[in-house]
Each structure stands twice: as structure tokens, then as C-alpha cells.
């Protein structure tokens, strides 16, 4: 089951919210845990066993690590638990049969166990609470990667209010609209390009731009929906995107893109390896290790390794000498980042090395293709408005306009009146698209 589906929107979610708010406080975690297991089992009932195994291993490992923290055995217990979790993750990625959300919930339970070992949080004594942390359906399939420290208190004591409900629903509808009205439409263009027999250099670039926008709106849309649902249920999940496409460097881009994953690798891999407080050679080694692992987190395939190495090289170049040049020119720095983003996601898209090199070659005119083709012109005209809207949507322009509008009394009243009408209109439009179209891909099922 996915958020952008009729069964979720009009059956599962209303029923779950009704019973969640109807049951007494002491049963809310149990209600949420059972609903999450049902959500997960909807499409993959067999794979629920692996999630339950992860929860059980994490629960008992956390308690034993805390109990023996002052002894050497605690470290051995932590290492054993990490081997089990990472071993399962690697096995499924290599087997190409990936339980939904395993990359996300594996990293969540690892952060919990490491934080317990380091004494940052006490081990959870309630199995259901830890189960809710690992399996909670809002952020189960596409993140953000929530740290145990972020929601430890909320697992036992959280508040609900009409304001949080309204804010959560607004965030959810905005994320749903990103996914259905932008990501899905752009995804259709990407599929058309792949099936086309009239490719050209500019058509390749149109594809690269469309896919870069699609993956942003797909992933950030799901993050928005997760954060919104969490807010409704009384949880405050961390932000996962902060307008990454307006960055002026790749360093800045990765502070804004998939923030929860980047901060996880920083805190649990990069810093323990020594970070930048080591020799230059070791520093570069640390960067490459982190980015190879980041690539492999997305999949055990050469295109993901190349994708990770691509960013590692750019980050090393920036840290050594490029950043000081990027700071001199706003236009050049933005162009450089956008070019790197498009190329990186073409690499990311590749299903095999042959197709990857054909695509990259097509972008620089190495495949004997014309610069322009009839299909490029046709689909540029057909999807030009959506691409333009997507480009605007990657910037804070709309948010800035709303803030400016709310600075006077009339504008604030207008926003108060129009916002619920706009959200209702978006919800109706999203529903119409879902009813009318069977095209509803979810990119992060791959991870």
C-alpha cells in the first residue's frame, strides 16, 4: 500500500485515524503498531517476519548492551547486532527481492542500538513502543530516517490538538500533490523517452531534467506526507528536504537533500572514522567510504556505486579548491550544481552499465544522434508547462509570496480563507487523477 492510492486515502487512513483517536491513551501505541503491520502486510505479508525480527533483535540487543555497557561484552553485542541487521539488508539487496522500507527501518534500529551503547538514550523497556518506532507506517516506506532520540519522549507521552491535525493535513495534501500532479506526470514523460525511437541530444537532456524533477517531487512529496501524518499522530519528524536545487555547491546540495540520510552517515560513519580531523589522505578516504556506502544503500549495482563516487569526487574537489571559486559567481555556481544534479540522476536512473553509457553518450552527442528531433519538440511543448511548474516548485518562491502576502491584514485574511479551499481543490484533483490513471510509480520501492 502506498500513500498515493485510493485504498490508503479513503479506506485505510480514515479508519486508522478514527480508531487511533477513539481508543484510550494507553492503547494508542498498540493501535498504531497493529495498523502499521497491516499497512506493511498489505502488499508483502511474508516480509512482515523480517520487520518483526528486526524489532525483536533491536529490543533485546538494546537491553543487553545497556546492561553490559561498562563491560567489554557490550561492544561485542553491538557488533553482533549490527552484523545481523546489515547482513539481512545486504542479503535482500543482493537477492533483488527487497522488503519495502528495509533500508529505512534498518538504519533506524541501528541508530537506536548505537545511541544506547553510547549512553545517549536508555534502552526501551516496552516492546510495543520500540515496535512503533521501527514500524510506524507514516515513515516506513520512504523515510525520513527518524532517530530514536527524536521521538523517544513522544513514544510514551505525546499531545494531540486540532492545530497539529490541521497542520499535518496541510503538509500531507501538499506532499500528495507533489507526488501525483508533478512526479507522476514527469515520470510518464521519462517512460515515453525510454520507449522513443526518435531520440536526440536535446531529448536526452529533456529526459535528464524531467527525471531530476520527478525524483525530487516523488521523494520530497513522500517525506512531506510522512511528516504531515506524523504531526497528526503527535510526532514531530525531522525535515528531509530544504530546497536542494537552489544550492550553490554540491556540499550545500547534500545539506539540503535527503537530510536524514546524510546526517546518519555523518554521525555514524564519517565522524567515527575521524571525519576531517585526520590527515588529508585519510580525510579523502573517509569521504569516499561514506559515498560508496551511500550509493550501496540505494542498491547493490554499479550505477549506484558510480553515483556515489561521482559525488565523492565533486565533494573532494570542492573542499580542496573549487568552493572559493564558486563563491565568486552566483550564476556559475548555480549552473554547475544543476548540471551536476542532472548528470548524477541520469547515472542514478541507469538499470545497467550499457544503458548508462548510451544515455551519458547521448547527452554529449556521441551516439550519432541529431541535436533536435520531432519527438523532442512535441514533448517539450506537451510537458513544458509541467516542467516549468516543477522548476518553480523546487524554489522557495511560492513560500516567499505567501509570507509576503501575510504581512498585511487583508493578505492574511485572504490566505486564511483561500488556503482550505485550495487544499480541498487539490485533494479533489489528486483523487480525479488517481481514479482516471493507473500510472502511479513509486521510485523508492527500489530502496
Catalytic machinery residues: 298
CB proximity list for 262: less than 8 A, separation 6 or greater: 254, 255
- All three cell numbers of 90, joined, read 545486504
User: What are the helix (H) ranges across 157-200?
Assistant: 162-177, 184-195
Q: Which of 315, 300, 298, 304 is nearest to 258 (CA)?
A: 298
* Burial of residue 69, with CB atoms counted within 10 A of its CB: 0-12 exposed, 13-18 middle, 19 or more buried: middle
Q: How far apart are CA 287 and CA 316, in angstroms?
A: 8
Q: Which of 197, 190, 247 is nearest to 218 (CA)?
A: 190
Amino acid at each position: 500500500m502506498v500513500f498515493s492510492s485510493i485504498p490508503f486515502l479513503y479506506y485505510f487512513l480514515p479508519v486508522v485515524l478514527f480508531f487511533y483517536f477513539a481508543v484510550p491513551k494507553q492503547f494508542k501505541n498498540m493501535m498504531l503498531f497493529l495498523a502499521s503491520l497491516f499497512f506493511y502486510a498489505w502488499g508483502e505479508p511474508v516480509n512482515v517476519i523480517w520487520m518483526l525480527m528486526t524489532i525483536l533483535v533491536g529490543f533485546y540487543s538494546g537491553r543487553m548492551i545497556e546492561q553490559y555497557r561498562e563491560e567489554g561484552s557490550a561492544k561485542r553485542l553491538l557488533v553482533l547486532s549490527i552484523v545481523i541487521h546489515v547482513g539481512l539488508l545486504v542479503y535482500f539487496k543482493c537477492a533483488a527481492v527487497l522488503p519495502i522500507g528495509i533500508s529505512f527501518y534498518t538504519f533506524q534500529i541501528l541508530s537506536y542500538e548505537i545511541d544506547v551503547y553510547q549512553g545517549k538514550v536508555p534502552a526501551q523497556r516496552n516492546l510495543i513502543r520500540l515496535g512503533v518506532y521501527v514500524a510506524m507506517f507514516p515513515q516506513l516506506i520512504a523515510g525520513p530516517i527518524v532517530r530514536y532520540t527524536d521521538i523517544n519522549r513522544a513514544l510514551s507521552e505525546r499531545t494531540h490538538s486540532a492545530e497539529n491535525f490541521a497542520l499535518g493535513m496541510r503538509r500531507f495534501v501538499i506532499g500528495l500533490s507533489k507526488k501525483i500532479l508533478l512526479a507522476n506526470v514527469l515520470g510518464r514523460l521519462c517512460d515515453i523517452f525510454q520507449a522513443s525511437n526518435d531520440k536526440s541530444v536535446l531529448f536526452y537532456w529533456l529526459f535528464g531534467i524531467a527525471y531530476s524533477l520527478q525524483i525530487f517531487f516523488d521523494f520530497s512529496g513522500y517525506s512531506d506526507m510522512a511528516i504531515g501524518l506524523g504531526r497528526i499522530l503527535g510526532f514531530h519528524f525531522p525535515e528531509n528536504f530544504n530546497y536542494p536545487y537552489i544550492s550553490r555547491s554540491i556540499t550545500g546540495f547534500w545539506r539540503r537533500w535527503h537530510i536524514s540520510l546524510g546526517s546518519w552517515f555523518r554521525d555514524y560513519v564519517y565522524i567515527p572514522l575521524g571525519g576531517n580531523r585526520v590527515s588529508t589522505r585519510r580525510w579523502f578516504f573517509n569521504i569516499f567510504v561514506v559515498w560508496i556506502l551511500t550509493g550501496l544503500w540505494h542498491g547493490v549495482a554499479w550505477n549506484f556505486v558510480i553515483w556515489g563516487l561521482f559525488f565523492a569526487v565533486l565533494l573532494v574537489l570542492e573542499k580542496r579548491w573549487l568552493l572559493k571559486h564558486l563563491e565568486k559567481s552566483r550564476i556559475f555556481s548555480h549552473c554547475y550544481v544543476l548540471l551536476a544534479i542532472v548528470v548524477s540522476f541520469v547515472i542514478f536512473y541507469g538499470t545497467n552499465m550499457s544503458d548508462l553509457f548510451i544515455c551519458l553518450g547521448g547527452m554529449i552527442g556521441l551516439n550519432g544522434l541529431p541535436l533536435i528531433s520531432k519527438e523532442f519538440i512535441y514533448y517539450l511543448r506537451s510537458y513544458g508547462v509541467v516542467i516549468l511548474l516543477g522548476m518553480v516548485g523546487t524554489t522557495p518562491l511560492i513560500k516567499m509570496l505567501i509570507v509576503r502576502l501575510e504581512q498585511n491584514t487583508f493578505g492574511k485574511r485572504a490566505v486564511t480563507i483561500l488556503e482550505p479551499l485550495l487544499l480541498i481543490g487539490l485533494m479533489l484533483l489528486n483523487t480525479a487523477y488517481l481514479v482516471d490513471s493507473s500510472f502511479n510509480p513509486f521510485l523508492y520501492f527500489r530502496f
